[in-house]
Structures are given as structure tokens and as C-alpha cells.
Amino acid sequence: MINLTAKQISAVVNGEFFASSSFQDFTVSEIITDSRTFFGGTNVAFFALSGPVFNGHNYIAQLRKKGVLLFIVSDKNFIDDKAGYILVKDTVFALQQLAAYNRSRFSQPVIGITGSNGKTIIKEWLYDLLAAELKIIRSPKSYNSQVGVPLSTLLIDEQYDLAILESGISEPGEMQKLAPIVRPDIGILTNIGDAHQENFHSLEEKLLEKLKLFAGAKKLVFQSDRFYSKNIAAFCSQNNIDPINWTLENNNAAIQFKSKIKSASTEVEAILKNDHYSFSIPFTDDSALENACHCFATLIALEKDPKDFLTQFSKLQPVAMRLEIKQGINNCLLINDYYNSDLNSLSIALSVLKQQAAKSHLFKHVILSDIQQTGIETTELYSKVNQLLQVWGINKLTGIGKDLYQHQHIFQLESEFYTGRSEFEKRFVRSNYSSSAILLKGARQFELEKISALLQQKAHQTVLEINLNALVHNLNTFRKLLRAETKIMVMVKAFSYGSGDVEIAQLLQHQNVDYLAVAVADEGVQLRNAGITIPIVVMNPEHDSFQNIIDFNLEPNIYSFQLLQEFVKALEEFGLSNFPIHIKIDTGMNRLGLKTEKEVEEVITFIKNNKHLKVSSVFSHLAGSDEPELDDFTQEQFKRFADLSALIENSFPYKIDKHILNSAGIERFPQHQMNMVRLGIGLYGISQTGLALQQISTLKTTVSQVKTVNTNETVGYNRNGKIKQQSRVAVVPMGYADGINRRLGNGLGSAFVNGQEARIIGNICMDMLMLDITNLEVNPGDKVEIFGPNISISKVAQLLETIPYEILTGISQRVKRVYLQE
């Protein structure tokens, strides 16, 4: 922890200190940068970060009400006499300065990790291997950005024996800012891949940028089998760094590894000089092997005896790198976070719990395991945990573990304690859990996923995973194409394109979008009942929905004079005035909307003579914004909209927003963004121009059975799956009732299993499909991806000669949605 006074911080960041005469200097022990995840506490300083999307200065007043007394700002206009302020030129740079200062006070070894993949898993596995003998501080989750790295570094202090910090970059120039903060003694370069490649001219440029992190390191761990290993060796020589290189391909390296895959594990032999070491890892994929080799080599870099750790490699567990949100029993919401267990990650998870509980006014329940290897005496540790639970307004605690059991007297809220998970399972009563948001937080060794299995609503292994971080990335990618003042309306109709309405809407509200849009009023009612408060536009209002529109403060799309008259009659009955509406103009789509100047003028006259309505926006819809061959028609639509919307805009004394751009329009015609844009399929990772979006959805399941099918036998209904040679077939519990189009059967479609694509064989059944796995090593229980990072939704849509919208919206609601969030 930083533990500096306000004036000391001001000196470190070269700031100008402002405070009223009544301000009393205090010791800061916590740094925050996001007002949305801070609920309360003392001894806090807020860095008002500013960027293309958000301006942290706008939340200073809100944070003062929560008790924050010190703010680091870059805009003098926000300074008043109500708190202490440190004025700097750049708040991000100031945060980095403070972190670099804190790092300079830490004399114990620091391991710095960078690369395109594997950073977080290596960090967590090193912690698992070393935590029994060392007190380790590590980056919370994947805090590896320009802000995440300094926040991680600010957590270290002299009570720890080792720090493990990961660093990530997305463009040139970033690593030279992170290097003085991390200053690793030992470096690990995982690999160089295509992630964020759009911002680099070549892989070599990216490599040289990442290597800047290690310029002052004493040792560097890397794989010598890569094509760029000679560049790394030259870098080590130039900077007097001891290379701890390793190989799986018999190259000249300090450590030689050999591996042999078994049914559910990999046997590894490490040869170091004349010494041989054998160990096993409970994984069979190449990436896990590579990560384990990095960990072994790092033990050598730390001058540890490998013999002391060989058995621990067999106990390594998968790392759930993202927090999961899923539906539980009896109207419960489960938030699973088995990633790690420490005070910092607990605070992050509690902020998510409060956010998720608020949307449906759920009881807040935390199931927590013992927190280990913190370096804090247990009584002090659990006193801090008790304080965190109270600050975040938690209603109940369930403690799992002997330490929590022995310190249960510390907790000042409703609580129950069990010495271990098995005791909890024996005493579990299903009916005791209802209408609650339940956070399961703990170290992986406590296997809280088994408690989650008791609490989850659907046991069907077919799931649609929604990566909420990818969704935020996509939202911010589009925001960068817009002016800061341009509003964003996000389309969440049709169950948010199959991704789940409430969870997506809650995240978008958290991200401060301006409007949400639904297709029908019932969708809007569900969002209001879930705690969504931002404006919601109903695109297809019906006469029978007027009651709900009025009762739940929804805003209708007015597309005809008749609809306008009918809605006003409903408003008159309630005596309402200035009710917000949105006027739809048809500029060539020939769907809903006012098409002629006469229709528009008729509506204008009616509204001007009516006190019940207020026009919030006027909009239209592009028919072919994603097709360059239709650009002439699109330009005609822009002109038509400009003419007709001007009639409305000039008829009223107040400001009216205008919007015509959809996702493809934002990408291709940003000059027509006007006051607002409507973001739809782009949010979910589909780009028309090659924009660096991330696919947010992964549809996956598991193999139910593997069988051998002989020559001339057939597979599936109607005997369409003809076998020409002896084959192995995997049966997968997913079919057209789950949303898999039957046309993908008989070899058209495929699934990704164990690193390769396997063709679908035979007709797709209602609840099952079969894969030809003749040349693959596949076993029951193995993961199967229908679409996701390895098979894109766009590819599936192309096979079916349709669009990604249909693929996404076609996923059945019987498929369990699991939400992942870092």
C-alpha cells in the first residue's frame, strides 16, 4: 500500500496542492480511478483520469458525497474549497509516477511478464507453485494496461517476498511508460502473436516494443523455438541480461523439455545441464505445456531447486480468468470468482456483486473461502474483510475454511461458517437460497465450483458464454469514431441479439450510454423491473402497450399520424404533459416511418397544438450502409433525412436529437453522426470494415460419448451420415432445439474440439449432433466450440447464406447464458 500523505503525493507527482484552510492532511492508503466501483471508505485518493470516452472529473462531486477528500486533477475548473486537490498536467502520467515511486521503495525481487498470450495463467501458476514458501503480491486479475499496471504496483510493500506483475500493450510507445513502473528483476516473455497487431507494422516491431520492459532486468525467461529468438538473445547480450531460454524442439537452450501426452495429462522431462527432472501437468493442450515450461524456467531463474516443486505441477488447475455471472436456483444470480483470493480482488468482486444485486433488488450474499498468503496477521486480515463487507452493504456471509471458522466472532453481519466445503455440502438446503445475488469468492483449492453446481439453475452443459469485457471493448472502439458530445443509443432488442437482455443492459447503463432501444414494450418493462433507469425507446409500440409505456416511463417511436393520435389519447387520460417521443422518418427503407413532407407537416402541426408531447429525437434507418454498391442510394437517404428532419427541428424551440447511423454507418459514414448514433450488431463483434472488434459470444458444450462406426454404417436420422471407412464419432448434446440450424449437418458445418475442426456428420437432431473425429484425440467430457474464438459467427453465417443477426438471435433461451467479466 502507498501510505503517503496528500502533500507527499503532491511532491511525488510534481503537482500543485490546493486545499481550504479547514483541510487536514491525512495518510492515503487506497488509490481509486473508477467512481463506479467505489462505494465508500476512508483514506482514499481519486485520480480523475480523462480519455476519449470518459472524463473522471465529472464524478468528483459524486465521490465527495461518498467521503473522498483528495482528488488528483488535470482541470483547474474542478478545484473548489470542499476538498483537497493536486493539480497535474496529466493524471494518467501522475498515477504512473506515483506507482514508479512506490516500486522504488520495494527491494525484493519483481517478476515482470509480457507477451501476447499466457501472461495471466503463468502469473497464477507461479503463485500456486511458490505461495507455500513466499509471501507474494501479484497483479489483480489481468491488470496489465497503462492504468492497470500502476494500480497493481501501488499494492506492493515490504511485507511481501516477491511481486509478480504482468504488462500488456496495444500500440507503440506504451511499454516505455510501463517499464519504469515494473522494473523487473526477472522477465518472462511468453510469446509474440497477432493480438493488437493492427497497431504494429510487423511482429518484429511488437517484439522490440515488448522487450523494452526488460531493459534493466537481470534474467529473461523465453522459448528459443520461436523464429524471433535470435532477436531476444541479441537483446539479452546488449543489455547484459542472463538468458534463461528453453526448448521443446532440441534447439540450443539452457533447458531442454520433452513431453508425452497421455489421456488426460502430459508427462514432461526437463534436462538442465546434466540434471533430469520429471513432472506431470493435468493438461494436454500445447498452450498449457508452454505455460508450464515458462514456470519451470522461472523457478530456475529464482534459483529454486526444481525437486521441491515437481509434485506441485500435477496439482496445477485451470485458471478462470474472468468472473462468471449465471442464473441460479430460486431466482438467485450467481457470481463465480474462483480466480484468486486476496483483499484486492475481493473488493473488485464485491463491487460487481453490488452492481448485479441492485438491478433486481436482490439480497447480497457472499460465500467466501479462507484468504491465504496475504502477509497480514489473520485477526487483522478478517477485520479488514469485515470492514469491506460492511462498506459494500453485504447482507450475509458464508465462510468456508478453518481460518474463517476460528475468526467468526469478528464479523458483524448475518453469517454462518463451515470448516470446509464438504461440511457445507452435507448441510446444504436448497430452499434456503432465494432472490439473492450470491458471490462465490475463494482460492481454487477450495473448489467452490462444486458449491456453484449446487446453486446453478441449469445443469445442461451447452452454454453461450458472453464476454462482457469484449462488449465494453467494442463499445469503446465505436466511441473512438465519434465526437465526445455524440450520444449513443444501443439496440438491446431480441434478447440483446441472443446475448441476454438484463445483463447487457445493466452493463451498458454502467458504461453511461445515453439510450437503450427495445423492439416491444414488454422488453422495456423487463429492463425497468431489473433496475434499468436510463431512457428506453420502444421501436415497435402497439396500442395495447400504451399502458406499460406510460407506467414504466418508456419512450415510443412514433411512425404514423394515426399512432400519434392514439398515443395522445392515452396521455390525456393520465393528464401527462411533455411526454418524450421519437419520430421515425422513412427515407427509403419502406418499413415504418413518415415518408412524405405532407405527413411530416401534419405531425408537426398536431404536436405544436398539443401540450402532452415533447420530441426527443427524429431518426431514420439506412437500408444498405454495409454495401458499397448501394452508396449512391445511401447518400440519397442522407439528403432525404436532412430535408425532412430539418422541418421538425426548425418547428420547435427546444433541441431535438437527430440520428440515422447504424453500426455499419458509424464505420463507413462517421461524418453523418449528427447528435446521436444507434449501435447494434457492431457491439456484439461484427464489423463491416475490419474494425478491431472482439467477438463476445462463444457457444460451446461437451462431448457426451465417443464411439467407433464401421464401414458402410450410417449416422443419424434418414441414414444421411454415410461412413466410407471405419470412423470415430463424437456425440454432442446440442441440436436444432438449441438453435443449431439443421442445414449445418451432413458435412457443411463443423465444430472446434481439441485444437482442430471436426465436421458435423449426418442430420442434426433436436437435441444432439455428431462429429467425425476419426483423426482427433477426443474423449467424453472434452469441450466443443460451435462458434467463438476459433469459428467465427460470420463464418457460420456465410455457410448458411444468412447474416450474423440470425445466428445470434436463433440461440434458444434454454441454452444457459454465462457472463464473463474481468
Per-position DSSP letters for 764-779, written without gaps between them: --SS-EEEE-TTS---
**pLDDT band at residue 663 using 50, 70 and 90 as cut-offs:** very high
Smallest CA-to-CA distance from 366 within 390, 389, 338, 333 is with: 389
Residue 454: helix, strand or coil by DSSP?
A: helix
pLDDT tens, residue by residue, 132-150:
889 999 988 778 889 999 9
Q: Which CATH class is domain 697-821?
A: mainly beta
Reported as type and span, the H/E element at residue 60 is helix 60-65
Q: How far is CA 244 from CA 46, 188, 544, 774, in A?
A: 40, 9, 71, 40
pLDDT tens, residue by residue, 465-487:
888 888 999 999 999 999 989 99
Contact partners, residue 100, CB within 8 Å, separation at least 6: 150, 153, 180, 181, 183
Look up residue 401 and give its three cell numbers.
475454511
Contact partners, residue 297, CB within 8 Å, separation at least 6: 221, 244, 245, 246, 254, 255
Task: Pinpoint the residues of the chain covered by CATH 3.40.1390.10.
Answer: 4-95
Contact partners, residue 182, CB within 8 Å, separation at least 6: 103, 110, 112, 149, 153, 165, 167, 213
Q: Please state the length of the chain.
A: 822
Contact partners, residue 560, CB within 8 Å, separation at least 6: 592, 594, 599
Whether 177 is catalytic is no
Contact partners, residue 641, CB within 8 Å, separation at least 6: 585, 587, 620, 658, 660
Residue where the block lists cell 437482455: 501
Task: Pinpoint the residues of the chain covered by CATH 3.90.190.20.
Answer: 323-457
**pLDDT band at residue 695 using 50, 70 and 90 as cut-offs:** confident
Least confident of 3-12, 241-250, 402-411, 679-688: 679-688
pLDDT mean over 558-581? 92
CA distance 414 to 773: 52
pLDDT tens, residue by residue, 736-759:
998 899 999 999 999 999 888 999
pLDDT for the residue 347: 81
Q: What are phi and psi of 18, to 5 degrees?
A: -125, 135
Under 8 Å between Cβ of 455 and 808 = no
pLDDT for the residue 672: 96
DSSP 391-418: HTT--EEEEESHHHHHTGGG--SEEEEE
pLDDT for the residue 442: 86
Contact partners, residue 551, CB within 8 Å, separation at least 6: none
Task: Pinpoint the residues of the chain covered by CATH 2.40.37.10.
Answer: 697-821
pLDDT tens, residue by residue, 359-377:
678 899 999 999 876 667 8
pLDDT > 70? residue 459: no
The pTM assigned to this predicted structure is: 0.70
**pLDDT band at residue 727 using 50, 70 and 90 as cut-offs:** very high
The CATH number, out of the four listed (3.90.190.20, 3.90.1170.50, 3.40.50.970, 3.40.50.720), of the domain defined by the range 323-457: 3.90.190.20
Selecting among 89, 717, 722, 783, the annotated active-site residue is 717
> Which ranges in 511-651 belong to alpha helices (H)?
521-529, 546-551, 561-574, 597-608, 631-649
Q: Is 479 assigned to a binding site?
A: no
Selecting among 177, 206, 354, 493, the annotated active-site residue is 493
**How many Cα atoms sit within 13 Å of 421 on the Cβ side?**
18
Q: How far is CA 722 from CA 79, 770, 777, 780, in A?
A: 76, 12, 22, 23
CA distance 642 to 200: 39
Percent of the chain with pLDDT over 70: 96
Whether 396 is catalytic is no
Task: Pinpoint the residues of the chain covered by CATH 3.40.1190.10.
Answer: 106-313
Report, at the CATH architecture level, how domain 4-95 is classified. Answer: 3-Layer(aba) Sandwich (3.40)
Report, at the CATH architecture level, how domain 106-313 is classified. Answer: 3-Layer(aba) Sandwich (3.40)
pLDDT tens, residue by residue, 186-231:
999 998 876 666 777 888 888 999 999 999 999 999 999 988 899 9
CA distance 454 to 256: 44
Report, at the CATH architecture level, how domain 468-684 is classified. Answer: Alpha-Beta Barrel (3.20)
Q: Is 766 assigned to a binding site?
A: yes
